[in-house]
Amino acid sequence: MMTRSVKAVCLVLVMSVALSAQTPVTLKSFFQDLIRNFRTSGLPDSKTLLNVQEQVAGMSSGEVSEALPSIAAALNYPDESVQAYGASAIFAVSLRSDSAELLKPYISSVGGLFNSPSNRLQYLAALTLVGLKPSPPPEVLPPMLAYLNSTGPPPVRQVSALAALVRIAPEKPEVIDAVVKFMSRPLDTDTRIAVLNSIHTSRVTDLRVRDAVIATLADSHAGVKLSAIGVLIRMGPDAITQAEPLLQELAQRPSEFGEVRSAANKALKIIGN
């Protein structure tokens, strides 16, 4: 028979295990365990990730700061699925009102995601840096500019950096230089359209960018021309006036797609033609 002392020890052990099982998983402990156990246990359940991410909004800045080194370790981990968990948590932090200050030491780690072959990770990196509050610090520009100016990655993957740059710093000379240089490269149709759409939703009005947009009105693809016309309309009457000869040609060309002719006429009406 078990003695009272043995029973007491067993009871303590059982209670200890029970309390341990009830201990909530924190943001910090989740990522510490992820890095420590990934090679043997794989990824934790995604629901657990969502649960710890929900804690971010209500955590103090000090608590978030304590967790960030472990999250950054996930961003730099040599496995895309682990990086995705880290990127998701970093994006959750970016939604906080103090995110620019919190994430400033980790901008290079976030920027490193632009070099990932994963479109999702690149997109999360762009969303995170663009969304830093109260506003993105100057430190976000160098990693994105370096990626956009690189000739190694497929151009279609670099558009996420371009889109972020023209939203964050549409008047910075180094951003304009990078955009104009990128637009001068031999890009496929989807990439040209994506670039034009990014400029459309930005506040870029630089004359060199405007001229590069006007040049795409001579493109053979209707989608490129439609996107270009949309950008010119957003840029305003001066841009449309500069493009008037090409717009007139598009509006009057019998073989042109109907949507392109309609868009060209819409633009011309803005300047009274």
Rg (CA), the chain: 26
Q: pLDDT tens-digit profile of 124-164? A: 999 999 999 999 999 999 999 999 999 988 999 999 999 99
Global model pTM greater than 0.85: no
Work out the average pLDDT over 244-259. Answer: 97
Q: By percentage, how much of the chain surpasses pLDDT 90?
A: 88
d(CA 137, CA 39): 36
HEC profile for 131-189? CCCCCCCHHHHHHHHHHHHCCCCCHHHHHHHHHHHHHHCCCCHHHHHHHHHHHCCCCCH
d(CA 161, CA 148): 6
Binning pLDDT at 50, 70 and 90, where does residue 24 land? confident
Q: pLDDT tens-digit profile of 78-94? A: 999 999 999 999 999 99
**Does 244 have pLDDT greater than 90?**
yes
Residue 129 parent element (H or E): helix 119-130
Cα 31 to chain center, whole Å?
A: 22
